[in-house]
Amino acid sequence: MSLNHLCTQMPAQDRAQADMLAVQENSYNGHQVTAGFTGPPRGAIPVKKMWRNGRTLRVKILNGSSKVRSKIQQYANAWTPYMNLKLEFVPSGQAEIRVTIDVSNASWSYVGTDALAADPNSQTMNFGWLTDNTSEIEFSRVITHEFGHALGCIHEHQSPAADIPWDKPAVYAYYQKTQDWTEAQVDQNIFEHFNDSTTQFSAFDPRSIILYAIPASLTTNRLSVGWNTELSATDQSFISSAYPATIAADVAYFNTMEVRPWDKPAKEAMKSQHLAGTGDAAPTLALGLNCLDVGNNANLRVNAFADNVSASSADVHIDTWADTTLYAAAVTWFTVPAGNSDFQTGSFCTEDDHAWDHPQQKTARQITFTRPYAAPPKVIVWLCRLDLDRSTNYRVTATGTDVTTTGFTLHLDTWADTKLYSATASWIAYPANRANITSGTYSITDVRPWDKPQSVNAGRIQFPSGCFQDGHTPQVFHAFNSLDVDRKANVRVKLGADNVGKDGFDWHIDSWADTVLYSAGVSYIAV
Ligand SMILES: [Zn+2]
């Protein structure tokens, strides 16, 4: 096999459109941890590209000999024992993965759901050199590799964990000679790293099928890697964790990218959400914001709310107003069935206390429970509506204090020179001794000082031992309770949770592009 036979991860032509399709396919692409390129386009919101777990992907091979077609089917299925996706090879009709064999072309594939953004009349994957005379080992190497891309894997040498000591001038010269690549193409295909430490990689895996061969002449320490020809143990465990046998229940979530791309900002976005198991009467929804991408050329104004709430559905809205540019935002909600005596929810807006055009730094309101509790309950508080002046940093915090059996004090505050015109917090209360539920808060300041801003922040929440039984994967609902973001760039911040299990979860609070994120705090409830 020749080193000349390289593969290209085909970038989506319309990044924002592909991001919208990714979130429509699998809402976790919007709120799980990020996996975008560090490079252009500037400001693109980081979105994952994984398929909806449990689905069937249709694969249509558009040309090729019967031998090559059967080899494609055989080696694509190298992945299937390890994942909860099915590959269905269809002779005609629609297919998510469309394969051509075109020896005048390179080998390439779109990555994961980017295939949904491709022209439906063209291929999403091409094999540039497969013929009836191709060796068995080359069939295995190339087909397994390209289908790895189609399932959402990126090149292993672009892992944030890969620390390959490239001899850069030698690399540019080599790929210019063998592939006719420009320096920009080498940068994109070889040097550019993905920006998150929890994509498919925990550590650099030199045995991965998704790795290029690395000739010793291209590294400063003469490190070399040969062509890998089959799935490594890490490839198998990655795809198993990406598409596990147990399909997690969807956490309530609405991202504006489900209804429009982030580069087409609008004043209003709405999704009609089906509600199940809420009984015969309309439930109550407590909402909290968990992703913001808002321009800094106007005040930070965003409003998440639900209306037309019935026993079976609710309309969830994320709006802005006046001259604010809302690129994207997301919200979660916790649903309390009518007649449930344990949970109580409500909301409080500073404008219930004073007018928006008379801003004040601190607002406190005594909240009285409709039904008193036997003992002081647990209370969690989320931000669901914001109106902050653009001329100073965006600083706001919502907290509940002095919790008693009959109520608590809800605070909506800002500090320093920030002008908080208005904010709304929603709250949820439940008995502190209730089983199979836990809640709490976490903050960027748990892991670093606020005055050392960085874009990627992560930690782990450990649930109380015995809170959840073996085999139960709780749902984690989480949303902001505080923000502290510099006004000099757009407000871009999002939450993610992964590795959710009965013992806890990993949290992520990330910003992207040139946003300066001093801090953000979160309240969560896990059931
Ligand atoms: Zn590749």
pLDDT tens, position by position, 56-113? 999 999 999 999 999 999 999 999 999 999 999 999 999 999 999 998 778 899 999 9
What's the confidence (pLDDT) of residue 279? 79
State the Cα–Cα distance between residues 483 and 68, nearest whole angstrom.
55
What's the confidence (pLDDT) of residue 352? 97
State the Cα–Cα distance between residues 194 and 157, nearest whole angstrom.
10
Strands (E), 230-319: 254-255, 270-274, 284-294, 300-307, 313-319
Q: CB-based contacts of 358: which residues, under 8 Å, 6+ apart?
A: none
What's the confidence (pLDDT) of residue 201? 53
Cα of 338 from ligand 1 centre, angstroms: 52
Q: What is the CATH number of the domain that holds 282?
A: 2.60.40.2080
Cα of 89 from ligand 1 centre, angstroms: 22
**Residue 379: domain span:** 341-434
Cα of 25 from ligand 1 centre, angstroms: 23
Instruction: Please tell me whether residues 527 and 414 are part of one structural domain.
Output: no
- Is 2 within a domain? no
Cα of 213 from ligand 1 centre, angstroms: 11
Cα of 6 from ligand 1 centre, angstroms: 7
What's the confidence (pLDDT) of residue 44? 65
Q: Among residues 276, 193, 291, which one has the least CA distance to residue 497?
A: 291
Residue 382, CA distances (Å) to 163, 316, 474, 482 in order: 40, 16, 20, 8
State the Cα–Cα distance between residues 313 and 15, nearest whole angstrom.
32
What's the confidence (pLDDT) of residue 181? 86
Q: Over the chain (527 residues), what is each successive 10-residue block's mean pLDDT?
A: 64 89 90 46 71 96 97 98 97 97 87 95 94 94 94 81 86 87 86 58 77 85 84 90 82 92 96 85 95 96 97 96 97 93 96 97 98 97 98 98 98 98 98 96 97 93 93 92 97 90 92 94 97
- The position carrying tokens 């600083």 is 395
Q: Among residues 269, 256, 271, which one has the least CA distance to residue 330?
A: 256
Instruction: Please tell me whether residues 117 and 28 are part of one structural domain.
Output: yes
User: Is the Cβ–Cβ distance between 50 and 71 less than 8 Å?
Assistant: no
Here the tokens at position 331 are 């919200």
Side chain identity at residue 41, one-letter code: P
Which of 187, 211, 242 is where one domain is finished?
242
What's the confidence (pLDDT) of residue 194? 67
Q: What is the CATH number of the domain that holds 75?
A: 3.40.390.10
Instruction: Please tell me whether residues 135 and 160 are part of one structural domain.
Output: yes
- Is 513 within a domain? yes
Please state the domain count of the chain: 4
Cα of 253 from ligand 1 centre, angstroms: 33
Cα of 513 from ligand 1 centre, angstroms: 26
End-to-end CA distance of the chain: 53
Q: CB-based contacts of 265: which residues, under 8 Å, 6+ apart?
A: 295, 325, 326, 327
Cα of 212 from ligand 1 centre, angstroms: 7
Cα of 110 from ligand 1 centre, angstroms: 9
Cα of 115 from ligand 1 centre, angstroms: 15
Q: Could you report the per-residue pLDDT of 182-202, keeping only the tens digit for each? A: 998 888 788 877 655 335 555
Q: Could you report the per-residue pLDDT of 116-159, keeping only the tens digit for each? A: 999 999 999 999 989 999 999 999 999 999 999 999 988 878 77
Side chain identity at residue 316, one-letter code: V
- Is 1 within a domain? no
Cα of 203 from ligand 1 centre, angstroms: 18
Q: What residues have their beta carbon closer than 5 A to ion ligand 1?
A: 7
Instruction: Please tell me whether residues 212 and 308 are part of one structural domain.
Output: no
**Please, which residues bridge with residue 427 across strands?**
346, 381
Burial of 449 (0-12, 13-18, 19+ CB in 10 A): exposed
Instruction: Please tell me whether residues 419 and 517 are part of one structural domain.
Output: no
pLDDT > 70 fraction of the chain, expressed in percent and rounded: 94
What's the confidence (pLDDT) of residue 84? 96
Cα of 85 from ligand 1 centre, angstroms: 20
ipTM over 0.95 threshold: yes
DSSP 248: P
Cα of 7 from ligand 1 centre, angstroms: 4
Which of 313, 340, 367 is where one domain is finished?
340
Q: Could you report the per-residue pLDDT of 317-329, keeping only the tens digit for each? A: 999 999 999 999 9
Instruction: Please tell me whether residues 236 and 254 are part of one structural domain.
Output: no
Instruction: Please tell me whether residues 295 and 317 are part of one structural domain.
Output: yes
Side chain identity at residue 306, one-letter code: A
Which of 226, 242, 258 is where one domain is finished?
242
Cα of 209 from ligand 1 centre, angstroms: 9
Here the tokens at position 180 are 């006719």
What number of other Cβ atoms are within 10 A of residue 398's Cβ? 25
Instruction: Please tell me whether residues 188 and 142 are part of one structural domain.
Output: yes
- Is 479 within a domain? yes
Cα of 68 from ligand 1 centre, angstroms: 19
Cα of 92 from ligand 1 centre, angstroms: 26
